[in-house]
Structures are given as C-alpha cells and as structure tokens.
Chains A and B, each alone.
Chain A
Amino acid sequence: MAQFEVSSRQGFGVAERLLRLDWFLVVLVCTVGAVGIGMLISASGGATEPWASRQMVWFGAGLLLMLGVSLIDIGFWLRAAYTIYVLAFALLVGVELLGAAGKGAQRWIDLGVIQLQPSELMKIALILALARYFHGVPLEGIGRIRTYLLPLLMIVAPAALILRQPDLGTALLLALGGAIMLFLAGLKAWKIGVAVVLALGSGPVVWQFLHEYQRARILTFFNPEADPLGAGYHILQSKIALGSGGLFGKGYLQGTQSHLNFLPEKQTDFIFTMMAEELGFFGVAGVLLLYLGIATYGVVISARSNNHFGRLLGMGITVTFFFHVFFNVAMVIGLIPIVGLPLPLISYGGSAMLSLMLGLGLLLCVGVHRDVVITRRPGSAG
C-alpha cells in the first residue's frame, strides 16, 4: 500500500507532542467529568456506590485512552480510517444478526470487561472514513454530485442498521454528523436544502421502521399531558424536576423529584434534569457553557489544522460531541422527543465514556498535529 507523505516543520518526539497538546481542553473535559461524578454521587443518595466509583474508573481509563490516542501519529489514523469503518460496520451487522437470533433488541457485544456497542464505535469510524474520503477529493471534485454518492451510502447504511436496533438517538446523531461533514467538505447549501426536503419526505417511510415505543415517544412529545402516567410520565416528571429547581436549585443532594424516584433514569439519560433540579438555572447554564467551551475549542483546533483530514476529523468529532449534548438536553427539557441519548462525560456508562474519550483523543490528536501537512493522495505531491 502506497504511503501518504507526511511532512512536518519540526522534529516530533513524544515530549514535543505533549507540549503541543491542548491542555486547556483536557482541563475542560476533566471539569465536566468531575461534575458528572458529583452528580452520580447525588443520584445514589450521597454514596459513591453503585455508580460514582465505577464511573471514576471509566473516566480514568477514558482519560488515558484520550491522551494515548492524541499522541499517535495522525497519519496512522488517516491510513486506518477505512479499516476501522469496515470493522465497525461488520460489528454492526454482527449484532444485527445476533439480535435476530435472540429475538430481541441487541446493541452490544460482551467483551467481558466492557460491553462494546458497535454503534458507539461507528460514530467515530464514520467521521474518520468521511474525513479520509474528502481529504482525497480535489477542489474541482467538491462541486460534483457524484462525489457525494459514496459518502451518502457510508452514512445511510450504518444509520439504517442502528435505527433497526432500535436506537433512534444514535442513528439521528450519525446522520446529522455525517450531513454536517458533507457541508463542511463543500457540498452546496442548496443541495443540502434539497436533501433535507427529501429526508422530510421520507418521514412516513422512516415511521414504518420505527418501533411502537418510539412512535409513542414521538406522539407523546407533541402532547405530554395527554397521558401523564403512561408514555408522557417521563417527560412531565422531568419538566417538573427542572422547573421546580428554579434559579438556584434545591441544593446538592436535595432534589425531591430525583431522590424520591419520580425522575426516571436519573443516573443516565435524565442526569441533566437532576442537575437542573439540584443546582438550578445557574448551575446548568454553567455546565452548558463548559460544553460550549469544548465545542468551540474543537472548532478552533479544527480550523487551525494544516491538513484537510485533520480539519474534517476535528470538526466531525466536535459536531458529534456537540449534538450529543444538544439532543440529550433538548430531550429532557421537552424540546424534542425522547430519543435515548446519554449526556456526554456525565451520564453513567462505560461504553459511551470510552467512545467519547476516543473521539476527544482524536480531536486532541488533530491539535497536536496541526502543523503536519499531508498529501492529498498516497504517493503524490499535492
């Protein structure tokens, strides 16, 4: 296999890379992670068991993974992009087959220590693959429709599989992240408009794909009060918890809605609600600012990169991360239907934590290798 030519203006030892690491971003990530651990202690009524202690382990492992990934040469990621994508896709098909055999929803593969969710891996793999693809597309190519056919397939195929799992949230995230990457790669805005219209037109088709409970969630979203003890219960209780928190919150460990179990899944999908109840508007606005800080930093890192792969990779990670946060928050405050996405770095869960850290590691990697120039094609000079 021919090699991309990677050039850099300076020598590139591990010390040098550590020096170029964006430590401020690392601090932001650690701050959000610490907030998360604090909230998990509250979720278990002031105890580190059962959630906070394990989350600390995941977070520590994730931190190491993030730093490790960031120090690996960006050329490696460029070369491995398609391989990772194919691997992730194969795993996705694998769980689909397993799920069909087990006659139930199957989202993960048990690796003993951790349950690997191929859909989590796919979020990263798709970004890598699209970044690599558009890295190779010349300026002249970005105006042509057919340039986008393969990327569209790369997005739709895994999204459809994940939708079938069923995991509406991740499928949505994948599709949106992919679409924004197409936009960043240069797809004309009006073409995107046409695609959006087409996507909306396909709504009834997607509706057929949705499970009964997903349809109920969407219908509930439009009228939560209609069924306060059934499907609307979660969102209504979530809004009560949020609203009753007020400006300054009920105080750490003092949330009545969450501690009396009116709030569902307070340690995972609805942890933001508990935070809002206990810390109030000021508390959650602060957390939102931290997230926006990470997302904005991601934009800056990506824009400063001197290679197109890095730019697209960084932006893809950033956008996916941002929408991950956005969907979760919008969902618990009743702006969009409940799609089942955890809050990045805060919600309890090892699999999501590791895949997020992997993504942030790649973002940091883009930052570390911002001055590296990479040829558009293997073996060519520009």
Chain B
Amino acid sequence: MRGETGRANIFTRRAIIVGGAQALLTAGLAGRLYQLQVVDSERYQVLADENRINMQLLPPARGRIFDRFGQVLAENRLNYRLVVVPEAAMNLDKALDEIAALVPIEDHDRERVLREARRKQRFVPITVRENLTWDEVSQIEVNAPDLPGVMIDVGSRRLYAFGRDTVHIVGYVGAVNESDLERTDDPLLTLPDFRIGKNGAEKVLESSLRGEAGSRQVEVNAYGRVIRELSRRTGRPGDDHMLTIDLGLQQYVAARFGEESGSAVVLDVHSGEILALASMPNYDPNLFTSGISQRQWRELIGHPRFPLSNKSIAGQYSPGSTFKMIVALAALESGEVSPYQRFYCDGSIKLGKRRFRCWRRYGHGHVAMVQGLMESCDVYFYEVAKRVGIDRIAAMSERFGFGRKLDIELPGEKPGLVPTREWKLARIGEPWQGGETLVVGIGQGYLLTTPLQLAVMVARIANGGIAVEPRLLAEVIRDGQPVPREGETFDPMGLSPAHLDIVRKGMNFVVNEPKGTAYRARIEEPALAMAGKTGSVQVRRISEREHRAGVIKNEDRPWKERDHALFVAYAPLERPRYCVAVVVEHGGSGGTVAAPIARDILREVQRRDPSGRARNLEALIRPHETA
C-alpha cells in the first residue's frame, strides 16, 4: 500500500493548496465587491438615479389678453385629444373600428395612427384626433370600459374669440422654430406642442405671457415607461395682460371700413392710450394656431391688399395735407410768417423753372393761415415753407414724433421718414433743392409717416402741446393681482398756446365752416363736434401734360393708381378727449372718403366714452383655467 499512501499524500497536499486558493479567490471577490459597494458606492448611486429618474417639464398656462373692459381677446381653451395606447388596446385595428363607431375618424388619421404605432414603443400614447367636442368626449367616456387603451387627453389651445378684429393687435402664437430656439435657452421651447407668440402683443409680451415651467420627476424603467411620480414643482402661470383697446370700438372701426383698405388709429389725447388700432383687410389668427394650410398661407401672402401687414404702424404714407399743421406751427414759432399774413394763390407758383400747383386749378385768392388750413391751400403752404425752410419744418416734425419709432408694444413698427439736408446728402448724395422744401410743405415728397404717428400728432395738437406717447398695455395681472406700475407723465413740448389755438381754429374750420374741405363730414351735435384735417396723397406723379389735359378723376382710375385718402381729427372741440387718424388706401379724396369714416369713429368713441368709464379689472382677477 506504499503507492496508495504516496498518492494520498500528494493529493492531500495539493487539495489543501486548492482549498486555500478557493478561499483566496473568494476573498478577492469580496474585496472587489467592497470596492464597488462601499468605496465607490456614491458614484454608482448617482448613476442609478440618473438611470431611473427623468425630469419632465410641465408647461405653464399662458397669460390671457383682455381689452380695457375685461373682454377676453386671447385665452386658453382645453383641447380634448383622443389617444390610444397600443399596448393596452391589444388589437389596434379593432380598437380604431370601435372608436370610429362613436366619433368619426378620417381614413388618413387612421393610417397615421397605424404608422405611428409601428414606429413607437407599445406603451406610448398615439393621438387619434384633436379638438374633440364635448359630445364626442362624453361618448368616449361613457363607453370607456369597453375601450381598453383609449383615453381622453387634455391639452391647451389658444383661442382668439374676436380673431379678425383684433389680429393686428393681439397677434397669434405658433410652433417654435429653429431661430426661436437660438434666441433663448428656456427648456419649454423644446416641448413638442409648445406655442410661442409669433406676432402682435403675443410676440412682444412673450416673456411675461409665457410664465415659468413647472417640473416633475418621474421614475422610468429601462424602456422609458413612467412608473411613478417622485416629486412635482409647480411653475408660475403667465401674467394676464389688459390692453388699452376698447373691443367694442375696435369692432366698430373694422366694420366701418368695410371693403376699404387702410388703417385707423384712435387715441386718448391725454393718456396716449390706444383705444382702437385697425389695419384692413385683416385675417383670422386662429388659422395659425391650428396650423395653417399651404393654400391659405399662399392666399394671405399673395393678397393684393396685404392683410398680413399691420398698416397702422408699418404702413408708411406721405401725410399730404394732414402735415400742414406742422408746417404752420414751424412757421409761427419761427416768426417768419404771422398768422394773418396773406399770400395770393392763383393756382400755382413758380420756383426757378418749376411750377408748383395748388390742388385747386384756379386758385384760392388771398389766403391767411386759418383759411389756408381750412381750404388746404397748397400755394399758401408753398409760400410758408419757402420762408420757414426745411430745417425748421424737420425739427418741428421730429418734436411731434415723426421720423422715429414710437415704441408701442407691437412688433414691426416702422419709423417713417423726415427728410433733412443731411439725410439727402448722405442717402442720395445730392444737396437739398429749394423746390423740395415746397413739396414737403404740403406733406409730400420724401416725407413718410405711419397712421399711428399721425394720430399722435393730432393728440399733441389737441391736448395743448403735451408730448403724449402712445401705449397699448394697460395693466399686467400676476397671480390675479395687478402689478403696480409707474404712472407715466408727459412733458410739454414748449409750443405757444396762441399758435396751437390758430392751428386748432384752422382744423375747426376744415370741418365746421362751409368752405372747409370736410364740411360735409361734420358732426352736427355741438357737444360732439370735431376738428380735423383732410389729406389726399398722389401715389403717382401727374405730369404737366396731364395737368393741361385735365386730371382724370380718382374714380375713373384703376384702384392701385387712386390717391390715398387721409383724415386726422379730434373731438370734442372744447376740451378734446379723443383723436383719430384714418388712412384709406387708394380711397380717393380725404374729405369725401376718409373724413366720414373718421367722423363716425369719433362719434362712436364719444358715445362709448371708454376713457370716462372705469376699467373692469375684476374680470381678470379670477383663477386661470388650468391647461
């Protein structure tokens, strides 16, 4: 048995070695485990949480927009969406058939749902239809037990109740695009169905309308399915905004324009509040929120009367004769022309070789300032402008707010243009010509103004020379409470009251004297009576030959070649409160086309008296509809 013992000895020795090795290896495993689970544990705990915890943004309710009396112009409506979860529905085809028996489903929607179902994880809800009516929602809810995996999901949708009438003020929201994302790092913008302001107040007030995102932390599994909610941080809903607009007046103005194109701006002459601001034709902003079709979009941008353009602030027109008040004030302030100084109008004057015509072929005879305004005598203002010079006219224009943006709370405002010697040299490279001063004297030539600027001009004349600035935003309401704001005070422009009286008298006579250019458009009730100034602006140069042959009447020309009709006015005559600027594109004569519109607007605004009535703040102090 020697061999047996020898083998056993070798075995035993080696078995102990193997046993020891096993213990060592186990210790090695334990050591490694100690390193992972004790030494590096914190790092892995962070990684495990990163794995399972997802942050989800909760979009805030967008602030609403109201008119000055609490009428809601932009609000959030609940958008009921019908969604189906393929995993829970088991047989998607059958589920869609069952849904279709309750609410109609278009064939292309059906195809889209089936296509999405193939692409996505089985537990991801797929939208079948949006904007369900309440009846449809009830149909689905009642039958819910028989429709596994079919759910009603509630989202938010922006609604503009008075769409067309307020579109150029309120604007609209739209989907986020690339350039929006570049401007901000707000994570809300990355949400797939998030909408931001694209135009109007919606755009300018975006930052305070939007509010702040809330968030929730959810636990997800490896496939991204939400298992449970861990925590929730509520965001802050966007601020509500009250505008200075009076919706009733705004609707009246839009309706009064009818088929005409152009713009009307109504201001409170003391506060600068914009009571109405219309640009015609207009369009329906709700098209943009629900996704505008290619055809509708082409129609809008190809429209010959440019509905997309906000003509009140972006339309730049020659002011024509409505500018004569500025020339008169510049003349009076300069002392070069006295109010009673007369000039003789025989229908034209000559400067060098050029002849400058009055609108009245055979002239006005001897004309002083009040009469010059009343009858809008061009020759009178040629003479005045020649004496005052372009520098003083330009300076007075700028004091009245021409040639710069007025910075109201709307996008796309244009500055207009007040030509000066320096401007012409820099821009055109030629020195100023004397004849050009004459042309500016009757509000034509290089001069460009917006309807809003014209309205501000009238307001400043009417309020006794206070440099009132226009504004659109009345109140900001945060969490149901008005945000206190500094009251705006406006400085006097340093104009002589006597000079203003003369100009106002001229404007009075324009409307209320039989020889005035707008006498037929006067307001007969003395308490509501208005003062104003007509303007008719040629859109194409009329040659000397045409003059000799006799100018073709506006009505006989193609629409595009007719004059722009302008009228600016304020009311009442004593203690003015409201003013209006009306531009009717290619309307013809200011006195016969624009003045009646302005008259009706001024009568309506005095009847409504929006500045005299208290704002309806209570309407805003109520909780948000939750989205």
Q: Which chain A residue lies CB-closest to B51?
A: A262
Tell me the count of chain A residues lying within 8 A, CB to CB, of chain B: 52
Contacts of A241 in B (CB 8 A): 44, 48
Q: For the complex, what is the distance from the CA of A213 to the CA of B233, rounded to whole Å?
A: 45
Within 8 Å by CB of A322, from B22, B28, B43, B45, lies B22
Contacts of A308 in B (CB 8 A): 4, 7-8, 11
Contacts of B41 in A (CB 8 A): 243-247
Q: For the complex, what is the distance from the CA of A308 to the CA of B7, rounded to whole Å?
A: 8
Q: Mark A285-301, 1 if CB is under 8 A from B, else 0.
A: 10011011001100100
Q: How far is the CB of B33 from chain A (nearest CB, A)?
A: 6
* Interface residue stretch chosen among B184-192, B218-226, B257-265, B349-357: B218-226
By secondary structure, the A interface counts as helix
Question: Which residues in chain B, 222-249, are within 8 Å of chain A measured between CB atoms?
Answer: 222-223, 227
Q: For the complex, what is the distance from the CA of A335 to the CA of B33, rounded to whole Å?
A: 10
Tell whether, in the assembled complex, residue B15 and residue A246 are in contact, meaning their CB atoms are under 8 Å apart.
Answer: no
The answer to whether residues A315 and B48 also contact, given A245-B37, A261-B222 and a CB cut-off of 8 A, is: no
Tell whether, in the assembled complex, residue A288 and residue B29 are in contact, meaning their CB atoms are under 8 Å apart.
Answer: yes
Q: For the complex, what is the distance from the CA of A180 to the CA of B15, rounded to whole Å?
A: 10
Within 8 Å by CB of B33, from A260, A276, A319, A382, lies A276
Would you call A329 an interface residue if the criterion is a C-beta within 8 Å of the partner chain's C-beta atoms? yes
Question: Which residues in chain B, 1-22, are within 8 Å of chain A measured between CB atoms?
Answer: 1-4, 6-8, 10-12, 14-16, 18-19, 22
Q: For the complex, what is the distance from the CA of A3 to the CA of B36, rounded to whole Å?
A: 55
Tell whether, in the assembled complex, residue B18 and residue A243 are in contact, meaning their CB atoms are under 8 Å apart.
Answer: no
Q: Which chain B residue lies CB-closest to A248?
A: B37
The answer to whether residues A139 and B7 also contact, given A243-B43, A243-B45 and a CB cut-off of 8 A, is: yes
Question: Which residues in chain B, 21-37, are within 8 Å of chain A measured between CB atoms?
Answer: 22-23, 25-26, 28-30, 32-34, 36-37
Would you call A242 an interface residue if the criterion is a C-beta within 8 Å of the partner chain's C-beta atoms? yes
Would you call A138 an interface residue if the criterion is a C-beta within 8 Å of the partner chain's C-beta atoms? yes
Would you call A311 an interface residue if the criterion is a C-beta within 8 Å of the partner chain's C-beta atoms? yes
Q: Which chain B residue lies CB-closest to A282?
A: B37
Tell whether, in the assembled complex, residue B43 and residue A319 are in contact, meaning their CB atoms are under 8 Å apart.
Answer: no
Within 8 Å by CB of A299, from B1, B19, B30, B222, lies B19
Tell whether, in the assembled complex, residue B4 and residue A299 are in contact, meaning their CB atoms are under 8 Å apart.
Answer: no
Would you call A186 an interface residue if the criterion is a C-beta within 8 Å of the partner chain's C-beta atoms? yes
Q: For the complex, what is the distance from the CA of A288 to the CA of B12, rounded to whole Å?
A: 24
Tell whether, in the assembled complex, residue B45 and residue A183 are in contact, meaning their CB atoms are under 8 Å apart.
Answer: no
Q: For the complex, what is the distance from the CA of A160 to the CA of B220, rounded to whole Å?
A: 44
Would you call B498 an interface residue if the criterion is a C-beta within 8 Å of the partner chain's C-beta atoms? no
Would you call A302 an interface residue if the criterion is a C-beta within 8 Å of the partner chain's C-beta atoms? yes
Would you call B40 an interface residue if the criterion is a C-beta within 8 Å of the partner chain's C-beta atoms? yes
The answer to whether residues A333 and B32 also contact, given A180-B18, A184-B11 and a CB cut-off of 8 A, is: yes
Q: For the complex, what is the distance from the CA of A291 to the CA of B30, rounded to whole Å?
A: 12
Contacts of A285 in B (CB 8 A): 30, 33
Would you call B624 an interface residue if the criterion is a C-beta within 8 Å of the partner chain's C-beta atoms? no
Tell whether, in the assembled complex, residue B7 and residue A260 are in contact, meaning their CB atoms are under 8 Å apart.
Answer: no
Would you call B47 an interface residue if the criterion is a C-beta within 8 Å of the partner chain's C-beta atoms? yes
Tell whether, in the assembled complex, residue A244 and residue B15 are in contact, meaning their CB atoms are under 8 Å apart.
Answer: no
Contacts of A311 in B (CB 8 A): 8, 11, 15
Tell whether, in the assembled complex, residue A262 and residue B36 are in contact, meaning their CB atoms are under 8 Å apart.
Answer: no
Q: Which chain B residue lies CB-closest to A264?
A: B222
Q: For the complex, what is the distance from the CA of A196 to the CA of B69, rounded to whole Å?
A: 93
Contacts of A180 in B (CB 8 A): 18
Given contacts A244-B48, A326-B22, 17 further A-B contacts (CB under 8 A): A139-B3, A186-B7, A244-B45, A247-B37, A247-B38, A260-B227, A261-B221, A262-B51, A276-B37, A292-B23, A296-B22, A308-B4, A311-B8, A315-B18, A319-B22, A322-B25, A333-B36
28 A-B pairs whose Cβ atoms sit less than 8 Å apart in the complex? A139-B7, A184-B11, A239-B44, A242-B33, A243-B41, A244-B45, A260-B51, A260-B222, A261-B221, A262-B52, A262-B221, A262-B222, A281-B33, A284-B33, A295-B19, A295-B26, A296-B22, A299-B15, A303-B16, A308-B4, A308-B8, A311-B8, A319-B22, A322-B22, A326-B25, A333-B32, A333-B33, A382-B1
